[in-house]
């Protein structure tokens, strides 16, 4: 039974990205494939994610970068979708690149599921202050990843067991009411 749907960002976050490691090491995790990883459109991405949640309801969605923003758009526009929670890792500001600009403004309203946002202090795709502000607006928890870049392969992330720990937090509903749940995660990276 699928318990975790992994939503990569632009270009599919190719291996050895931590999402591919996660799928390879967890039989209950599955990457949601998109029609076009390199020319994303919000409607197509959100529709693919919605379809996956209908096949696998009550899962935790784990999105990276633009995948995290696609999850937020899904939750803002598809009230019938049933998920257990969302882990939004290194959310990306769509306006930074012409390739992602079609995603427009990020929805800024409370989300109806438990949310954890994990972001670094030096992510080129979104300042941490913005990620913290969005976590508050979405009524989610925030994890400060320290100087972890975009939390991808280029930043030293291959296998990432701490991500699974955050997903476990969401799955079991142990929300921390806005307090950083995993202080030990700050500045921690697992190299591929």
Alpha helix (H) residue ranges in 56-160: 66-77, 128-137
Tokens of 191: 């190299």
Query: What is the average pLDDT across 93-99?
Result: 96
Q: Does pLDDT of 190 surpass 90?
A: no
Q: What is the mean pLDDT of residues 22-26?
A: 97
In a domain, 190, yes or no: no
What is the number of alpha carbons within 13 Å of residue 125 lying toward its C-beta?
A: 27
Q: What is the number of structural domains in the chain? A: 1
What is the pLDDT at residue 171? Answer: 81
- Work out the percent of the chain whose per-residue pLDDT is above 70: 90
Could you tell me if residue 126 is inside a domain?
yes
Whether 191 maps to a domain, the answer reads no
- 53 pLDDT tier (thresholds 50, 70, 90): very high
- Considering the domain boundaries, does residue 57 fall inside one? yes
- Residue 162 tokens read as 């701490």
pLDDT classification of 69: cutoffs 50, 70, 90: very high
E runs forming strands in 145-184: none
By C-alpha distance, which of 9, 125, 4 is closest to 67? 9
The residue segments making up the domain with residue 114 are 4-185
Rounded mean pLDDT of 96-102?
96
What are the C-alpha distances in Å from 68 to residues 5, 32, 36, 134, 164? 12, 12, 16, 12, 16
Judge whether 38 lies within some domain.
yes
How far CA 118 is from CA of 1, 50, 56, 176, in Å, comes to 26, 23, 24, 14
The pTM assigned to this predicted structure is 0.90
Report the CATH number at residue 38. Answer: 3.40.50.1820
Q: What is the pLDDT of residue 43?
A: 97
Q: Is the pLDDT of residue 49 over 60?
A: yes
Judged by average pLDDT, the poorest of 12-16, 32-36, 81-85 is 12-16
Distance CA 35, CA 174 (A): 35
């Amino acid at each position: 039974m699928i318990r975790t749907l992994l939503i990569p960002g632009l270009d599919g976050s190719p291996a050895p990205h931590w999402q591919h490691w996660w799928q390879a090491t967890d039989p209950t995790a599955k990457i949601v494939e998109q029609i076009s990883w390199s020319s994303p459109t919000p409607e197509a991405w959100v529709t693919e994610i919605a379809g996956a949640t209908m096949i696998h309801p009550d899962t935790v969605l784990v999105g990276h970068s633009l995948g995290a923003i696609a999850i937020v758009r899904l939750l803002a526009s598809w009230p019938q979708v049933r998920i257990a929670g969302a882990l939004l890792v290194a959310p990306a500001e769509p306006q930074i690149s012409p390739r992602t600009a079609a995603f427009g403004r990020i929805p800024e309203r409370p989300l109806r599921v438990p949310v954890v946002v994990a972001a670094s202090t030096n992510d080129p795709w979104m300042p941490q202050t913005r990620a913290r502000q969005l976590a508050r607006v979405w009524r989610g928890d925030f994890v400060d990843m320290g100087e972890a870049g975009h939390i991808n392969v280029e930043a030293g992330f291959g296998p990432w067991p701490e991500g699974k720990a955050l997903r476990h937090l969401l799955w079991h509903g142990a929300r921390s009411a806005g307090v950083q749940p995993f202080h030990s995660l700050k500045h921690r990276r697992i190299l591929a």
